[in-house]
Structure 1
Amino acid sequence: MKIGILQTGHAPDAIIGETGDYDQLFERLLGGHGFDFETWAVVDNVPLPGPEAADGWLITGSRHGAYEDHPWIPPLEALIRRIRASGRPMIGVCFGHQIIAQALGGKVEKFSGGWAVGRQVYDYGGRRVAVNAWHQDQVTRLPEGAKILGGNAFAPHAILGYGDTIWTCQPHPEFDSDFIAGLLKHRAPGNVPQPLIDEATARLPEPTDRLEVGEEMARFFLQERVA
């Protein structure tokens, strides 16, 4: 199965040599299932493919807002709608979660309650799941057909499903504690309030369920669907 990665951001220059870029984080997270991967760096304004270029699609995170005026966002939204119409499975993470909702008629805004950084706990299908997060924007109005699968008090729309072909999540299962540590050092200062940086740093040693979520993502791609 070929997974097309629509890359909408890049890892910080200071850590990318050690961690790899966003597409590589997902390739590692989804490894072991026989997937082939191809990346289109949407954020760099590369020409976009059609839905038929891959069997499944994944949209990464980004430091940009889905509501911002960038020339690559409208074509990406159009491709999202075409992928949905094609029936191919699609997963969105953080910005990917938000841009899918926006493309399908929902609303994304900068959250007045501020940032979520580092390890967060979500109610997902009746169980508690810990995953790293890094966001201030949120989906504040659901598009038609979206179902809330999980969330918490801070981000009630954190995990969404659209039938059996689209699954999206606000947190980052591809981010391990080392990557979060790099973000806390290189992206947080001047953007994230210091008390939140301190709290996230203190939580770095705590385990997360990111690998289990990654397995669920792989199963989502692989599940049989009625044409």
Structure 2
Amino acid sequence: MKLGILETGDVAPELKARHGDYPAMFRALLGAVDGEMEFATVRVVAGEMPASPGQADAWLVTGSRHGVYDGLPWIEPLKAFLRDCVAARVPVVGICFGHQILAEALGGRAVKSDRGWRLGVQDYDVAPDAPAWARALPPHFAMRALHQDQVVALPDGAHVLASSPTCAFAAVAYGDRERPAAISLQPHPEFGPEFMDELLALRGGTAFATDLADTARATLDRPAAGDVWARAIVDYLHAAAGRAA
């Protein structure tokens, strides 16, 4: 399977040398589950866009410091491309910003939440009617998160896969529950604890208050279910493509 990674954000230079860019994080995360998966990166944040959904077997949209409402020149073309993927039944996975723009592209809504920032290891509940490809997920899981924007309205035909008291639409499936056209997740399965710690330290006092960063950093010794979600994402991609991992 060839997975196209739509890179919509850049890792801070201070962190990139040690941790790599977002595509590298996803290659490590998903490649550990499926060693035969091939990857290709498209730098959407730099103005690149795939010519067609068929350039890859599936697509993944990364996180970003940008918001879906920022009016950047690549936002609307990316939304159109995601709609084309869904129409062509080419599977899509969205993470954080990718989660938000996928919902927006398909008729939902994402905004800067009045709940403020969600930082550090957060707790989520899996919907009791989770589909077969998501059965590896435990009823409750923790995941590293860093976001202020949230999806606040779902498109028609979307189903909640996971939620929390402060993030109602933490994971979503679009279309048929058992074989959705796309899935998305608000927290970050690709973020390791060291990267998350350095990112919180770097942005504390600028993007958000230092005390919020310190509180979030104190949660990072808790286990996070990134590897479990990696398995679920790979299972989804193969199920959607009609193959078994």
TM-score range, shorter chain: over 0.9
Q: Report the Cα offset of residue 65 of structure 1.
A: 0.2
Task: Tell me if structure 1 keeps the 8 A contact 2:181–2:240.
Answer: no
Task: Tell me if structure 2 keeps the 8 A contact 1:118–1:200.
Answer: yes
Report 1:162-177 matches (<5 A): 162=174, 163=176, 164-177=180-193
Task: Tell me if structure 2 keeps the 8 A contact 1:12–1:187.
Answer: no
- Separation (CA, whole Å) in 1 of partners of 2:209 and 2:126: 28
Give yes or no for the alignment of 1:19 onto 2:14: no
Amino acid at match of 2:3: I
Amino acid at match of 1:147: H
SS at match of 1:62: coil
Q: Who is 1:2 aligned against?
A: 2
Amino acid at match of 1:167: I
- Residue by residue over 1:26-76, the C-alpha shift from the partner in whole angstroms, topping out at 9 and shown as x without a partner, is 000001411100000100112433100000110000000011110001110
- Residue by residue over 1:1-45, the C-alpha shift from the partner in whole angstroms, topping out at 9 and shown as x without a partner, is 000000000111101011000001000000141110000010011
* More deviation, 103-112/198-207: 198-207
Q: Report the Cα offset of residue 105 of structure 1.
A: 0.9
Task: Tell me if structure 1 keeps the 8 A contact 2:124–2:142.
Answer: yes
Q: Report the Cα offset of residue 196 of structure 1.
A: 1.9
1:39 aligned to 38, 41, 62, which one? 41
Amino acid at match of 1:198: D
Amino acid at match of 2:216: A
Cα 1:45–1:225 change in 2 (3 A) is: closer
Task: Tell me if structure 1 keeps the 8 A contact 2:111–2:151.
Answer: yes
Give yes or no for the alignment of 1:152 onto 2:164: yes
Report 1:42-61 matches (<5 A): 42-61=44-63
Q: Who is 1:202 aligned against?
A: 218
Percent identity for Structure 1 against Structure 2: 39
Structure 1 stretches (4+) deviating beyond 3 angstroms?
Answer: none
TM-score, normalised relative to structure 2: 0.89
Q: What's the Cα RMSD here?
A: 1.2
TM-score, normalised relative to structure 1: 0.96
Q: Who is 1:98 aligned against?
A: 100
Q: Who is 1:76 aligned against?
A: 78
Task: Tell me if structure 2 keeps the 8 A contact 1:121–1:128.
Answer: yes
